[in-house]
C-alpha cells in the first residue's frame, strides 16, 4: 500500500498537513518497503477548501498519510476519500514509522488498517 509522509526535512514526520508543499511516498508491505517518490502539491490560492482538495487529490493513491498536525476539515476530507490521516506523536523518523507499520502488518492489523490495505485492490483503483 502507498503511504504518504508530511516532512520538511525528508527524514522526520514534522509538517502540518495544511502547510506541506510535498509529501514523501513509500510503498509499504509486511515484508518489503521502499521509497517511491515525492508528490508536490499546490499551495497557492486563497480558498482553504481548494488547497485541502489539491492536497487530497495529490494523495489519491495513498491509503495512509502521516502528519505532525491536521485540522478537522482536512482530516474529514481525507477520510471521505478513503485516505486515513495519522498524527505522529513526535517528530518520528519516517524509517521508524515504516518499520512499526510493517510490524503491525505482519502481526494482526486492526480492521481499519486491513481495509486501507485493500484500497487499491478494488476494481477501478490503481489500474496502471
Structural domain contains residue 35: yes
Asked if 62 and 25 touch (Cβ cutoff 8 Å), the reply is yes
Residue 53 included in any domain? yes
* Residue 75 and residue 85 in contact, taking contact as beta carbons nearer than 8 Å: yes
How much of the chain, in percent, has pLDDT values that exceed 90?
Answer: 61
| Per-residue model confidence as pLDDT tens digits over 32-87 | 999 999 999 866 667 777 778 888 888 999 999 999 999 999 999 999 999 999 99
Cell of residue 83, nine digits: 485516505
Domain that holds residue 20: 2-121
21: closest CA among 47, 68, 65, 55?
A: 55
- Residue 90 CA to residue 92 CA, distance in Å, equals 5
What CATH number did the domain enclosing 100 receive?
3.30.420.130
Q: What percent of the chain has pLDDT over 70?
A: 89
pLDDT number for residue 45: 65
Amino acid at each position: 500500500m502507498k503511504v504518504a509522509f508530511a516532512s520538511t526535512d525528508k527524514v522526520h514526520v514534522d509538517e502540518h498537513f495544511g502547510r506541506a508543499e510535498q509529501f514523501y511516498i513509500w510503498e509499504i508491505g509486511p515484508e518489503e518497503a521502499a521509497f517511491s517518490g515525492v508528490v508536490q502539491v499546490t499551495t497557492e490560492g486563497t480558498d482553504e477548501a481548494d488547497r485541502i482538495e489539491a492536497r487530497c487529490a495529490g494523495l489519491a493513491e495513498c491509503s495512509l498519510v502521516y502528519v505532525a498536525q491536521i485540522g478537522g476539515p482536512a482530516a474529514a476530507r481525507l477520510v471521505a476519500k478513503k485516505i486515513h490521516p495519522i498524527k505522529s506523536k513526535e517528530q518520528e523518523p519516517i524509517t521508524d514509522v515504516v518499520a512499526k507499520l510493517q510490524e503491525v502488518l505482519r502481526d494482526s492489523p486492526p480492521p481499519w488498517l486491513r481495509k486501507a490495505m485493500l484500497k487499491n485492490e478494488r476494481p477501478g483503483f490503481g489500474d496502471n
